[in-house]
Amino acid sequence: MSELEWAIASAQAAADAAPSYEDRAFYVALQDFLREQAHRVELAAGELDGRTWDHEAW
Amino acid sequence: MKTLIIVAHPQLATSATQQFLQASAAPLTNVTWHALPAHLDLAAEQALLFGADRIVLQFPLYWYAAPAALKAWLDTVWQAHLVDAARGGRLRGKQLGLVVSLGQPAAAFQLGGAVGVSLSTLLAPYAALARRTGMTLLPPLPIAQFSYQTELAHQRLLIRYQQYLTAASQHFTDRQAWWQARLAQATPEQPALAEYVANQAEEYERLQDTLRELKAEDDG
């Protein structure tokens, strides 16, 4: 299980155990954010790779 | 930051959308829910208006515009000699938000759609208003066909609305900061989740710093 999968599973467990509607919504929406955050990190890492391997800069 | 929600809805008590939004805003601090009264007390309305940093106009779209109560409030409370930016307006530097509920699907509001014009086109007067008063207009939060939405969509809306009211902006880094602040207050605590989000935030910031340095080198 990746760290992201673990985090999403943890948020889902927190949503399932949440005492109120608002708390449940919080942990459900958090899962969307966790995916978005991981995607942003991946994009930034990809951009960095691309710039580092820019052949014109060799 | 203080947020003022100006709610203009002719049938507020029976509006499922507005009841949902009111319950969503209730737990938030520094957020004032203000349903427009039938008779406006000018001094009280202006005190609320000038005391807020972010003013959110919230209304259903009736015949492609806000209900009459909102226009009456604007015409009465936003006195030109007080709010005109060129005359030292008291709204300068504040933010103007729009939460608009729609009876048609969001996709109807585009060129060639059932409505035929975009929501941005219909809401253009608020852009002019923001400009004239020196306010920053926030991207609107449209809520299309609330009653037809799934439970999951409602849960997402609750949080998106809370962020619209209280996050510094809707940019990624400001929403990230919002999540971190809320996770720190979560009961029961979720230390492992909070730590994961914080580590990811640090990693993102580290990558962005490096990218900024590289771009600066390229430009130099």
Percent of chain B residues past pLDDT 90, beyond the cut: 95
Per-residue pLDDT averaged across B37-42, rounded?
96
Per-residue pLDDT averaged across B50-68, rounded?
97
Range of the structural domain that residue A32 is part of? 3-57
B110 and B19 part of one domain: yes
B119 and B214 part of one domain: no
Range of the structural domain that residue B44 is part of? 3-166
Q: Is the pLDDT of residue B171 over 80?
A: yes
What was the pLDDT predicted at A58?
Answer: 60
How close does chain A come to B76, measured CA to CA in Å? 36
Q: Is the pLDDT of residue A57 over 70?
A: no
Per-residue pLDDT averaged across A19-48, rounded?
96
Residue B112 burial (CB < 10 Å; 0-12/13-18/19+)?
Answer: exposed
Strand B3-7 relative to strand B95-102, pairing: unpaired
Closest in A7, A22, A44 to B208, CB measured? A44
B96 and B162 part of one domain: yes
Q: How far is CA B161 from CA A23, B91, B136, in A?
A: 14, 23, 18
B146 and B175 part of one domain: no
Which residues in chain A have their CB less than 8 angstroms from residue B155's CB?
A: 24-25, 28-29
ipTM of the complex: 0.91
On average, the pLDDT of chain B sits at: 96
Q: Which residues of B touch A (CB under 8 A)?
A: 23-24, 27, 152, 154-156, 158-160, 172, 175-176, 179, 182-183, 186, 190, 192-193, 196-197, 200-201, 203-204, 207-208, 210-211, 214, 218
Partner residues linked to B5 by β-bridges: B33, B56
B8 and B91 part of one domain: yes
Domain boundary among B166, B183, B211: B166
What was the pLDDT predicted at A51?
Answer: 84
**Residue B109 CA from chain centroid, whole number:** 19
Give the CATH number for residue B147.
3.40.50.360
B76 and B35 part of one domain: yes
Q: Considering its fold, how many domains does chain A have in total?
A: 1
What was the pLDDT predicted at B220?
Answer: 72
Paired tokens of B99: 């939460």
Q: Considering its fold, how many domains does chain B have in total?
A: 2
B183 and B135 part of one domain: no
B120 and B200 part of one domain: no
Q: pLDDT tens digit string along B89-146?
A: 999 999 999 999 999 999 999 999 999 999 999 999 999 999 999 999 999 999 999 9
What was the pLDDT predicted at A55?
Answer: 65
> Is the dihedral angle over the CA atoms B76, B41, B124, B146 positive or is it negative?
negative
Domain boundary among B166, B186, B203: B166
B22 and B97 part of one domain: yes
DSSP state of B140: P
Which residues in chain A have their CB less than 8 angstroms from residue B214's CB?
A: 48, 51-52
Are B200 and A26 within 8 A, CB to CB? no
Say which residue the tokens 């640090």 belong to.
B202
Partner residues linked to B136 by β-bridges: B95
Nearest to B63 by CA among B103, B17, B106, B16: B103
B125 and B216 part of one domain: no
What was the pLDDT predicted at A54?
Answer: 67
